[in-house]
Amino acid sequence: MTDRIEQRINSLNKRLNSEKRFRIYCIGAMSFALAWVLILFLNIFSSGYSAFYRTVIQVDVPFLNLIEDTTQFSEMSSEDINNLSMYSFSKKAIYGLFPDIEEKKDKKMLIRLFSIEFEQEIREFLKSNKSNINETETIYLTASDDVDQVNKGNYPRDLDEDKRRIKDIQLLFFDDLVDRGLVSYEFNLPFLMRGDSREPELAGVGGSIVGSLFTILVVLILSFPIGIFAAIYLEEFASKNRVTDFIEININNLAAVPSIVFGLLGLGIILNTFGLPRSTPLVGGIVLSLMTLPTIIIATRASLRAVPPSIREGALAVGATKMQAVMHHVVPVAMPGALTGTIIGLAQALGETAPLLLIGMVAFVVDVPQTPLDASASLPVQVYLWSESAERGYVEKTSATIMMLLGFLILMNLAAVLIRRKFETKW
């Protein structure tokens, strides 16, 4: 008798131990996955956060050299100011930082500490403050990419001079400016507002954010209604036969088609046959809709199938038509699931790159698009473009763009979870 009890206890201990081991495996697997996510995030964040601030250098601009009386600026229109010749004036203002240098070569080196648009920046300052210009104004000019990177400590200063883009004399100037307290950081608003640029310090993600938003909007407008209606038809109205089986198989196949194939389709049919404008969010959205549709259809069908049939019967039994039963009772219950599927599909579309490369959304676009019919980049393509650029400044910009992209994806997935939580029908 006691033997049997002992045997039971032994066997029970064995089972409990194996359960413990199983738990450890599961926790291990989860930690492994989580660790990689953390490494990814840390890596991107550590190299990307510095793109959100930029180096500026204080320059005293003697406007009195441009005009006899600075109050006269207030009477000038923006166009008048645009017509002012300010190039050599701006350069002289910068030379004023080091009045002692004489050699032309050194002066050129000094100018190169600043971004190429210094004249434009002084002009913009003048335009926005024209009614209130003093004889001398302190203006914060954007530093060049090299100076920016040196200031952020991303630039190896100890390399031989001929291996560096930034020269020894420029470093001397820079260190002196730092000692005089003229070099500072400010929040990199232009990075968020501007389009792409050949100069890393002037390049921004604004254009690709707007491009991505337009693209996603087109995807939403096209694939949400089509996906929902297709799913409702297949799930609620279509009779189950070979044709609907065939359609179902093909929708599942569509979900598994490599995305670049959709890009080829867009290139061949949407651009070449229908002649829609190249490189635009409209075409990008159409192509990505093809990718998103199966996701939406599959998710919507699953949530329609999860609605208990008794609800349909209840509606039919009081004399509702089939359509009324579906639209009044089944679809509202299935909607949170359908919306979740849609948002996940949109998030996929947001991060998709390959098809956009083929329809020309990989173009170098400086302007921020105003409509879905303007040529534009998108966030993932911007990552691709910048990751290939040689300039050091694009490294942090690439990571920062990935951060923006991940931020949008997290926001969308969060929205999906919240919608599901809030609107889910409780039985």
Partner 1 sequence: MKNIKIKADNLNVHYGEKQALFDVSMYMEEKQVTALIGPSGCGKSTFIRCLNRMNDVINICKVQGKIEIDGNDIYAPDMQVEQLRERVGMVFQKPNPFPKSIFENVAYGPRIHGIAEHKSDLEEIVVNSLKKAALFDEVKDRLYDAGTGLSGGQQQRLCIARAISVNPDIILMDEPCSALDPIATARIEELMADLKTEYTIIIVTHSMQQAARVSSRTGFFHLGKLVEVDKTETIFSNPSDQRTQDYITGRFG
For partner 1, the closer of residues 88 and 239 by Cβ is 239
Amino acid at 351: G
Q: How far apart are CA 378 and CA 82, in angstroms?
A: 32
For partner 1, the closer of residues 272 and 425 by Cβ is 425
Binding window for partner 1 (CB under 8 A); candidates: 18-26, 97-105, 121-129, 304-312:
304-312
Binding residues for partner 1, total number by CB under 8 A? 23
Region 367-426 residues binding partner 1, contact defined as CB under 8 A: 425-426
For partner 1, the closer of residues 238 and 415 by Cβ is 238
Binding window for partner 1 (CB under 8 A); candidates: 104-112, 147-155, 305-313, 366-374:
305-313
Q: Is residue 168 a contact residue for partner 1 (CB under 8 A)?
A: no
For partner 1, the closer of residues 311 and 406 by Cβ is 311
Closest CA to 350 of 285, 282, 253, 418: 285
Among 4, 20, 240, 422, binds partner 1 (CB under 8 A): 240
In the complex, least distance from residue 319 CB atom to partner 1, rounded to whole angstroms: 4
Among 2, 85, 88, 239, binds partner 1 (CB under 8 A): 239
Q: Which residues pair with 59 in a beta bridge?
A: 139
Among 333, 350, 383, 404, binds partner 1 (CB under 8 A): 333
141: left (phi > 0), else alpha (psi -120 to 50), else beta? beta
Region 311-330 residues binding partner 1, contact defined as CB under 8 A: 311-322, 324, 328-329
Q: Which residue has the tokens 């030379």?
A: 95
CA separation (Å) from 143 to 178, 188, 198, 325?
12, 12, 15, 65
For partner 1, the closer of residues 123 and 301 by Cβ is 301
- DSSP letter for each residue of 152-217: TT-S-TTS-GGG-SS-HHHHHHHHHHHHTT-EEEEE-HHHHH----SSGGG--SHHHHHHHHHHHH
Asked if residue 369 lies in contact with residue 279, where contact means CB atoms within 8 angstroms, the answer is no
Asked if residue 286 lies in contact with residue 218, where contact means CB atoms within 8 angstroms, the answer is yes
Asked if residue 212 lies in contact with residue 378, where contact means CB atoms within 8 angstroms, the answer is yes
For partner 1, the closer of residues 192 and 327 by Cβ is 327
Region 14-53 residues binding partner 1, contact defined as CB under 8 A: none
Asked if residue 283 lies in contact with residue 271, where contact means CB atoms within 8 angstroms, the answer is yes
Q: Is residue 427 a contact residue for partner 1 (CB under 8 A)?
A: yes
In the complex, least distance from residue 18 CB atom to partner 1, rounded to whole angstroms: 40
Site residues, partner 1 (CB under 8 A): 239-240, 308, 310-322, 324, 328-329, 333, 425-427
